Every structure is written in C-alpha cells, then in structure tokens.
C-alpha cells in the first residue's frame, strides 16, 4: 500500500465534537506530563492556549449533521480553514452556563422523550442535539430554552415538558377585564404550590385561588392592556404567554346640531358622537343630557369595542329660545363601568340660537296652485318666485333680464333664420330635498311645457324649435325665429352678460323666468301643494288662507335674511287695509 493510499484510508470524516474530544484527551495527557515535570523541577508548567488552523472540506448529512474531512492534498481546491482556539477558562465562568460535570450523564436517545415526533427529533439533530443529555446541556436557562425553540420551531412548552420543567400552555379566557378570574393550563406545576410560587402579569402578582399539577386558577391584578403572563414555581420561571386585560373607554367626541344654525322656535336635533375606544364591550349604561343645568337620564345598550353608538339615547330633540345655551352629554354619569378614562366620557358645547326673523305679508290674490308650470302669474313679486327660480330673472329696477340659475349665456348665429341660445348653469345648485339641479332638469322642464295644457305651451312651441344638452353645465335652445336684434357677423359667438332690454330679447323673457322643476319629483301627488323648488324659501304649509315659507339654508346665493315668511290671503280690501294699519302684517300686496 502506498503512502498516499494509507493517508486517504486514515483520513476519515469526523464531527467537531469528536475532534474536540480527541484534542481534550491529548491535552489531558500533556497536562499529566507537565504536572510530573513541574513536580520534578519545582516549577509550574501548564498549557494556557492552543491554536489550530485546519484546512477541511465540509458536508451536511441527511439528518442535519455537519461532517468534516481534513485536507491532505495541498493541490486540492475549495478547502475551508477551520480555526480552533483553546484557552483556559476560570471555574466561575462556567457556573450557570453548562451542566455540572459531577452530575450523571443521560445518554438516552431523543426518541425516549414523551410524545416526541420524528420531525422534532430531526429539528433537534439539526442543531447538534442527539441525546437527552445534549438537550439538558443546551437548555440550562430560560434564555437558552427560548433560543432552542427559535432555532428548531419547537414550541417552548414542549421543550420544558421534556425537561420536566413547569410550563404554561393556555390562559382561559384569552382576555377579560382586570380583576377577573382566569384558568391557566400547563404542566409540571406540582401537586401543591411551592412557598415561593408566583403568577405575574405585567410584573404584578395575581391571587392564586386553586392549584393542581396541570391547572391554576388565579384572579388577575388590577392592570390594563396587553402584556405577558408567567409563573415562578420552585425557583423556575415558566415560559410567557400573551394575555390582555380588556378595557372600556367611552369617548364623547362632539355634539352635532341639525339644523347647524338653529333659529329660535325650530325643532333642533342634538346628537352626541359616542365611541367605545376600549377593547371590551361596555355592558349597558346610562347617558345624561344636561341642557342649561337641567338633566335628563336615558338608558343605553351595550356598545361594542371600536364602535360608534347608534342608540336612540344619543339623540335629543327640543326647541330653544334665542340666545346662548350650554349643552352637556355624559356617558355613564354614575361611573358604573370600569372606564379607564372617565374624563373623556363627557362633552360640553355652547351654542347660539338666533332670533327668528319673520316677515308677515297680506295678499289679496288667491293662490290656486304652487306648480310653476301651471301658474301663469310668476313674477318678481309673486310667491312662486320665492320657491322656484328660472334660468333668468327680470330686474325691474334696471329694466334688464339678468342671469339667475344660469351664470351666463351666449347667442350663436348659425344662419339667417337659425339662432342658438346657450345657458351655462351655476355650480352647487340644489333642490329643496337636497338633490342637485342639472341641465337634465332644465331640459325636462321645457319639454313638459311643450306637452301639457298650460298657459306657457303656445309660447314655448312658437319660440323654441329644439332643446339639447351640450354638457354637464350647458344647455342649448334652438330658436324658431331670429331675434329682433342680432349680433354682427364678426361677433357671431360672442358671450352676452345680459340682454339690454326685454323688448330686444331674442326670446320672450317670460319663458326664461319659468321656475325649473325636478324631473325626479314633478308629477307626483301633492306637488302643487308642497312642491320641490330651488328658490330661497321652501314651502312648509299651504292652504286657501295662505302659505308659510321657511328659509332654504342651501340656497346657492346663501341663506336668506328672513327665517320665515307668512303670506295671508285676504281678498277683502277693507280687511286688508285694517290689518296693515293695525300692524298685524309687515306689508301688503
């Protein structure tokens, strides 16, 4: 056999632990030799440090073991240098970090551990744990157990079970209010508690109620929020498990008013914005409305965590006199709930209620209908002009027809007999029911005028040939005949801010002042009694004796100065005069 073949046969694969054992054995022999030399010569001789640099190849086995082979051929490529430094260690440095050497060695294989699986054995082998003794050496402290658990993905409690150390598996319930009773399940607790036994949550001790080998009953401390729970049994600290001391946190954010700008005498709805910002349902409680130091209690149902209350008790309706008023809403005023921040459970607001501005008018003209498409008397002084608005309005003081719902118009001359009048609507136009007014409503209004038997029908048919929606804001009317005065050819698409006078309008001005009606509401039963318009006032009541109007807060030109207009129909002129002279009405028509 050649020398190379002999070296190859002797150079078998080895594991690091085997190498360390072999080197330790050699060091023992060397230490014995040095001890004899020291005795013979009267000098102290010892090995303080040994450094080894080995060129090796590395292989990982199927079960996760790491195998090394020393490189003997200097021509071999890809070798890894393994550097080993052996240094003397003080005895105090070993304390608590490794298993005492005087304890018996447990060389049982991992398969003898209770309920261990093949997968778990392979996971432990992957970090060089092959026996029960290896497991004990690798898990001497809670931190070491946690590290083994992290590297192997084996739960901490299972490792503690194999080590016969106390462990926690579960807390029932997983969350509950502070001071509540919970059950802790685990193992290796012992049949009776040790003198130093403790159960801690967020560092605060729980009161132990009952004890058995695998179950503890405790009353949790008065602390709140998320945290970890663990036990100390016979000087051993268990693993930690998360637990939550649930909380109730009733928060009143605001008090809203509807209408937002209240007027004296109006029915006002107050609503509290109440939310449970805690992590636990609140249970039933009471709420208190305090209006100008007068309180009223109401019951409130359970409020779930992170939910806004929809309970009827958060709403309160009443009428105020003019002036300032102090409103306060309090959730759980008697503080029956374990609220973590009771100061957030109340909200106070100071509101201003303005005096009602009312205009009372007497009119001798009877009102038959409030439908603007059936009423031919729509004019600047007519009640319908307060409820409905048209594309234009007639300014009697200036003698001009000026834009109203339309922000501007322009006239296009197509040919000698074809003229197109364009209208562009204002933004944010709304009907009294809150629905946006669009060019489709304008188109609908004039199409209805062409069809129904109304005072306007003949005028519409003889003036307007076609109606077309151009875009979301623009509508076009193709006129039947040329206007009496037309722009010159060089200004055929010129914008016009206003037509100079009614007499020179390209279309009968009455048609441009017709009130626009909603396509979604017109034709419904009762429209002529309580219509939906776009004017500054909306109809509250209407009858043969008169009409009552209230201000429309979303009117495009702003909320009207008057909150209410009451129009009484007095057909007797003498009676009408008496009411004016007696100051029973503000004005008369």
Q: Whole-angstrom Cα distance, residue 526 to residue 326?
A: 41
In order of 17, 95, 111, the CA distances from 134 in angstroms are: 12, 17, 13
pLDDT tens column, 525-572: 889 889 999 999 999 988 878 899 999 989 999 888 888 888 888 777
32, burial (CB in 10 Å: exposed 0-12, middle 13-18, buried 19+) = exposed
pLDDT, residue 487, reads 36
Full DSSP string of 127-168? TT--BHHHHHHHTSSHHHHHHHHHHHT--HHHHHHHTT--EE
Beta-bridge partners for 183: 172, 217
The two beta strands, 204-205 and 236-237, are: unpaired
For residue 145, give the nearest of 22, 60, 230 by alpha carbon: 230
Is 361-569 the same fold as 167-245? no
486: confidence class by pLDDT, cuts 50, 70, 90: very low
Lowest mean pLDDT among 87-91, 154-158, 253-257, 288-292: 87-91
Q: Whole-angstrom Cα distance, residue 271 to residue 312?
A: 9
Q: Whole-angstrom Cα distance, residue 433 to residue 552?
A: 10
Task: Give the pair of three-digit tokens for residue 354.
Answer: 């303005």
- Token pair 């040790």: residue: 194
> How many other C-beta atoms are found inside a 10 Å radius of the C-beta of residue 498?
14
* CB 159, CB 147: distance < 8 Å: no
* CB 245, CB 175: distance < 8 Å: yes
Helices (H), 243-331: none
Beta-bridge partners for 565: 359, 549
Q: Whole-angstrom Cα distance, residue 407 to residue 420?
A: 17
pLDDT, residue 3, reads 56
CATH fold of the domain at 361-569: D-Maltodextrin-Binding Protein; domain 2 (3.40.190)
pLDDT tens column, 167-214: 999 999 998 888 899 999 999 999 998 888 999 998 899 999 999 999
Q: Whole-angstrom Cα distance, residue 536 to residue 357?
A: 14
For residue 410, give the nearest of 418, 421, 400 by alpha carbon: 421
* CB 512, CB 390: distance < 8 Å: yes
Q: Whole-angstrom Cα distance, residue 116 to residue 95?
A: 30
Q: Can you say how many angstroms the Cα of residue 291 is from the centroid of all Cα atoms in its chain? A: 32
Beta-bridge partners for 182: 218
107: confidence class by pLDDT, cuts 50, 70, 90: confident
Task: Give the pair of three-digit tokens for residue 588.
Answer: 């008369």
pLDDT tens column, 34-68: 877 777 777 777 788 888 888 888 988 877 788 98
Domain boundaries, the chain: 3-88, 167-245, 250-353, 361-569
Cα dihedral 112, 114, 116, 122, rounded to 10, equals -30
pLDDT, residue 8, reads 56
pLDDT tens column, 422-458: 999 999 999 999 999 999 999 999 999 988 888 888 8
The two beta strands, 267-276 and 315-319, are: antiparallel
- Which are the contacts of 584, defined by CB distance < 8 A and separation ≥ 6? 360
pLDDT, residue 500, reads 35
Beta-bridge partners for 47: none
pLDDT, residue 409, reads 87
In order of 350, 396, 428, 439, the CA distances from 425 in angstroms are: 39, 22, 9, 7
Average pLDDT, the chain: 84
Which class is 250-353 in CATH?
Answer: mainly beta
* CB 348, CB 327: distance < 8 Å: yes
* CB 79, CB 59: distance < 8 Å: no
CATH number of 167-245: 2.60.40.10
Question: What angle do helix axes 142-152 and 118-125 make, rounded to 10 degrees?
Answer: 110
pLDDT, residue 286, reads 96
pLDDT, residue 387, reads 93
């Amino acid at each position: 056999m050649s020398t190379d073949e002999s070296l190859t046969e002797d150079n078998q694969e080895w594991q690091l632990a085997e190498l360390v054992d072999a080197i330790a054995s050699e060091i023992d022999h060397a230490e014995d030799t040095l001890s004899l030399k020291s005795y013979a010569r009267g000098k102290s001789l010892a090995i303080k440090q040994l450094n080894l640099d080995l060129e090796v190849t590395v292989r990982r086995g199927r079960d996760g073991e790491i195998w090394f082979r020393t490189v003997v051929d200097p021509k071999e490529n890809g070798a890894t240098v393994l550097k080993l430094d052996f240094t003397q260690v003080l005895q105090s440095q070993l304390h608590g970090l490794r298993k005492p050497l005087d304890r018996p060695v447990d060389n049982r294989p991992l398969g003898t551990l209770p309920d261990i699986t093949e997968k778990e054995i392979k996971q432990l082998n992957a970090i060089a744990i092959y026996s029960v003794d290896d497991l004990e050496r690798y898990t001497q402290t809670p931190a070491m157990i946690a590290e083994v658990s992290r590297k192997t993905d084996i739960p901490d409690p299972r490792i503690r079970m194999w080590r016969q150390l106390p462990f926690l598996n579960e807390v029932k319930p997983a969350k509950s209010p502070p001071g509540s009773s919970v059950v802790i399940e685990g193992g290796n607790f012992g049949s009776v508690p040790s003198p130093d036994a403790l159960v801690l949550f967020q560092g605060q001790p729980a009161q132990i109620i009952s004890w058995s080998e695998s179950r503890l009953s405790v009353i949790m401390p008065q602390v709140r929020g998320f945290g970890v729970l663990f036990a100390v049994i016979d000087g051993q600290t268990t693993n930690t498990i998360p637990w939550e001391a649930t909380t109730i946190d009733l928060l009143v954010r605001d008090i809203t008013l509807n209408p937002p700008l209240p007027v004296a005498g109006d029915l006002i709805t107050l609503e509290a914005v109440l939310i449970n910002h805690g992590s636990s349902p609140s249970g039933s409680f009471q709420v208190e409305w305090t209006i100008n130091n007068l309180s009223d209690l109401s019951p409130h149902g359970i409020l779930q965590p992170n939910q806004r209350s929809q309970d009827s008790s958060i709403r309160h309706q009443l009428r105020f006199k003019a002036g300032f008023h102090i409103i306060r809403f309090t959730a759980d005023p008697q503080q029956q709930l374990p609220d973590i921040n009771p100061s957030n459970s109340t909200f106070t607001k100071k509101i201003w209620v303005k005096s009602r501005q009312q205009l009372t008018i007497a009119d001798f003209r009877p009102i038959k209908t409030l439908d603007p498409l059936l009423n031919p008397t729509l004019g600047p002084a007519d009640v319908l002009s307060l409820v409905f608005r048209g594309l234009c309005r007639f300014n009697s003081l200036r003698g001009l027809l000026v834009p109203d719902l339309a922000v501007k118009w322009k006239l296009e001359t197509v040919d000698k007999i074809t003229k197109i009048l364009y209208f562009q609507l204002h933004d944010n136009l709304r009907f009294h029911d809150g629905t946006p007014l669009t060019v489709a409503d304008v188109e609908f209004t004039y199409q209805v005028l062409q069809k129904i038997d109304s005072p306007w029908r003949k005028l519409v048919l003889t003036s307007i040939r076609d109606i077309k929606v151009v875009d979301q804001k623009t509508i076009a009317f193709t006129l039947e005949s040329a206007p009496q005065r037309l722009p010159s050819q060089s200004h055929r698409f010129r914008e016009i801010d206003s037509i100079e006078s009614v007499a020179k309008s390209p279309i009968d001005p009455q048609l441009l002042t017709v009130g626009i009606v909603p396509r979604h509401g017109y034709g419904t039963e009762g429209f002529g009694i309580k219509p939906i318009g776009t004017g500054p006032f909306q109809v509250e009541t209407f009858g043969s004796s008169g009409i009552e109007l209230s201000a429309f807060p979303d009117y495009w030109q702003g909320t009207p100065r008057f909150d209410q207009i009451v129009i009484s129909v007095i057909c007797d002129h003498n009676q009408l005069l008496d009411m004016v002279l007696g100051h029973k009405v503000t004005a008369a028509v």
